[in-house]
Structure 1
């Protein structure tokens, strides 16, 4: 289906579907009355207005995309610590500014940082594993208790988030966006 349902044929096909795979359902779309399953092909379902869906419609989402998300997070963290673009451009010109013994190329390393992960589901667990592999101290804030382990330094309850935030250098929120989590962490929490 096209993103914009303009033709009568598209609207009819959409409204008569038993199953819809999509990321958005709100008042801008035709009313659904027969849909049995609305499948969101990602973790977040914040694009759905549940109040508009028929009571008999089952909504499901999925996981399995945590690898791509974690690769993005770790890349972003590395880019914060390693001037990769500049280092690559210089290296191609024979300039070894960032060699291990050069005072002009000093930079920070991820292993000198601590990370606080809010939420310990599929994404949080994979992020904890990768952060630990980079030598980072890992703390978790979660609804249910998470035991400290060889790769988790400390665990906090979500209602004690302020304690974790005081103890970490980097914070990553992996909680799903919902009414309960929207605005859960912000300027006040981070004291920006």
Structure 2
């Protein structure tokens, strides 16, 4: 049976879901408190994998058979790659491209149109700030340029959606 450490509250919150969806047999060992280093080290000494928000040298010293460090998100900046045990892979989550891109475009529309301001105004019984009278008409995304820092899966998905709105895209 494989053993995986769920380290930190975020990882541990997924315990029931993991038990439900795992197709092979895994023993899930939870360490919700990121300050419980002794408990973590004890569990890591027997673990095949860890799911964590970060990785460092102190954690690496406690391993003997670790094969996988699973990040909880797309970014792996908080993982010391020089501290990876031999033969161990660091994997990130790759499913965020579409939902993050949709959120980004939604936020851009909300800000350019002023949804939050107008929602507040309408709930207070005012309709004046909509551009129908003396209010400022809202901005449009069409014709604007969006700058993307990074052009990985998230950046590419934002780019697709921005172009659908008639925006120009600059990415680095």
Kept after mapping to 1: 8 A contact 2:67/2:89 = yes
Report if aligned partners of 2:60, 2:84 keep a CA contact under 8 Å in 1: no
Residue matched to 1:78: 109
User: 5 Å matches for 1:27-176?
Assistant: 27=57, 29=59, 31=61, 32-141=63-172
Which structure 1 residue ranges, 5 or more long, are not aligned?
142-192
- The aligned length equals 141
Could you tell me which of 19, 26, 50 is aligned with 2:56? 26
In structure 2, do the counterparts of structure 1 residues 86 and 70 end up closer, same or farther at CA, with 3 Å as the change threshold? Answer: same
Give 1:104 deviation, angstroms.
1.7
Q: Is the 8 A contact 2:131 2:138 kept in 1?
A: no
Q: How far apart are 1:63 and its partner, in Å? A: 0.7
Shift of 1:51: 1.8
CA 1:101–1:94 in 2, change beyond 3 Å: closer, same or farther? same
Could you report, residue by residue, the CA deviation over 1:29-62 in whole angstroms, capped at 9, with x for unpaired residues?
4622321111113211111112222122122223
Using the alignment, how far apart are the partners of 2:96 and 2:123 within structure 1? 34
SS of aligned partner of 2:169: strand
Residues 123, 138 of structure 1: CA spacing in aligned structure 2 closer, same or farther, 3 A cutoff? Answer: same
Structure 2: gaps spanning 5 or more residues: 1-30
TM-score normalized by the length of structure 1: 0.62
Aligned mates of 2:149, 2:169 — CA distance in 1: 11
Question: Matches of 2:102 and 2:64 in 1, distance apart?
Answer: 40
Structure 1 pair 52–120 and aligned structure 2 pair: CA distance change class (3 A)? closer
For normalisation by structure 2, the TM-score amounts to 0.68
Q: Is the 8 A contact 1:87 1:97 kept in 2?
A: no
What secondary structure does 2:142 align onto? helix
Report which of the two has the higher share of helix: 2
